[in-house]
Amino acid sequence: MQSQFNSLIVIYSRTKAASYGTIKIDSRINKMMKNMTQNKAIVVGGGMVGAAMAIRLAQQGKSVRIIEKHIIDADNILASDTVDIRVSAINRFSENLLDELGAMPILRQTRLAPYKQLEAFERGGDNLLFDCADINTSHLGHLIENSLIQASLWKQFTHYNIEVIEQSASVSAIEQNIDSITLAYGDTRYNADLVIAADGGQSQLRAKANIGVTGWQYQQHCMGVLIKLNAPQQVKTWQQFTPTGPLAFLPMQAPYANLIWYDDANTLQHFKGLAPEQIKTHILNKFPTLAGDFDVQSHAIFPLTRQHANNYSQGRLVLVGDAAHTINPLAGQGVNLGFQDVVALAQALDGVDDIGCPLKLKEYERSRRKANLLMMSMMDACYFGFSNQITPLKWARSQFLKMANNTGPLKNWVLKYAISGELG
């Protein structure tokens, strides 16, 4: 490389009197210098989506840094017996991505549970059952703890020379020019060709870039309950729709499972300080009968928010995952949508000389914003359509469940979309 630079400088000095030649040679020098730094990307946020994004870009030969508030000990998390109450329903699309990133082989050695059936039903009413056998596949997805997914991805960083910078301060400024972007954290500055905001629903980068959002906070809150279930491994995840909100059962690796309880915010707030036995009593009164007796391990309550960024990119800054969209967690599609963002952005940047090119980032935005909006709207339709007792609507959803359950091609199309994220 150095000899090429020397040759260019000699040529430039011999032709400096000719203005045309000077412009031509100077552009070659600038291009070579640009090529030396063209692949610097910074991912802000090392959660599941941010970590996956960093690895995917590194697999393309790009130099990647992650800025993260807290460094995690991946080995310790993977070896720990502590079970995370936060769990994701990873569909087949996401499973394939995690395989390609090197994380899924690690996860198969930890606590994960494949689910083969998914059922939606009303109390005393009709039901809709999806079964992996209907589409000739071994399973529909996996229930995996969020901390295990993140740790398995972090294990890949050393292999791809991904540097993690611990930065507890808030971003104070974002500066952009025609060919670079700089993040300022007080007196510390980080320069790159591209910055990817994967810093969650309350994204500081999105706010600092003045990218607005549309959305609302749902009237209901959600309570997750980790239980230890005295029953064999369960392979069916289900959701029961009630007038006060859905109830769900997520089978983790036996003996654990996760219960999801949607309800009025005030109702769930009363449960906040209750002892495990008291929570169990409320579950027995509210939930359908479970497969066996159980003990409550922990519980957590959080608000429900729908939020969609008005733009996914601004200059050399681009949003992925929850920084771009937060969705009702009704069907566990949040992280799956984030992983689809990862694949789409990586595809848009593959083989590109300037990975921060605003036109390429807009190309990614066009490919993902419409798809994310469709899934958000579908989840809201289910949420509002099933969480009320209006008589005409009750009749309509009963007819819908009957039709959907008895129409094989339609049901299989919906199922394939749910597990692959593709409409084809």
Q: Where are the domains of the chain?
A: 2-35, 40-420
pLDDT for position 412 = 64
306 with 378: CB under 8 angstroms? no
How far is residue 274's CA from residue 296's CA, in Å, rounded to a whole number? 11
Per-residue model confidence as pLDDT tens for the chain (424 residues): 433 333 333 323 333 333 333 333 344 434 433 433 346 999 999 999 999 999 999 999 999 999 999 999 999 999 999 999 999 999 999 999 999 999 999 999 999 999 999 998 877 667 888 899 988 889 999 999 999 999 999 999 999 999 999 999 999 999 999 999 999 999 999 999 999 999 999 999 999 999 999 988 877 899 999 999 999 999 999 999 888 888 999 999 999 999 999 999 999 999 998 999 999 999 999 999 999 999 999 999 988 888 999 999 999 999 999 999 998 776 667 899 999 999 999 999 999 999 999 999 999 999 999 989 888 877 766 666 666 555 555 555 555 555 555 565 656 666 666 666 654 4
pLDDT for position 130 = 86
Dihedral of alpha carbons 331, 332, 337, 340, sign: negative
Amino acid symbol at 137: T
Domain 40-420: CATH class, spelled out: alpha beta
pLDDT for position 122 = 79
Other C-beta atoms within 10 Å of 391: how many? 7
pLDDT for position 420 = 65
Other C-beta atoms within 10 Å of 116: how many? 18
Other C-beta atoms within 10 Å of 169: how many? 11
Peptide bond before 243: cis, by omega within 30 degrees of 0? Answer: no
Alpha carbon distance, N-terminus to C-terminus of the chain: 47
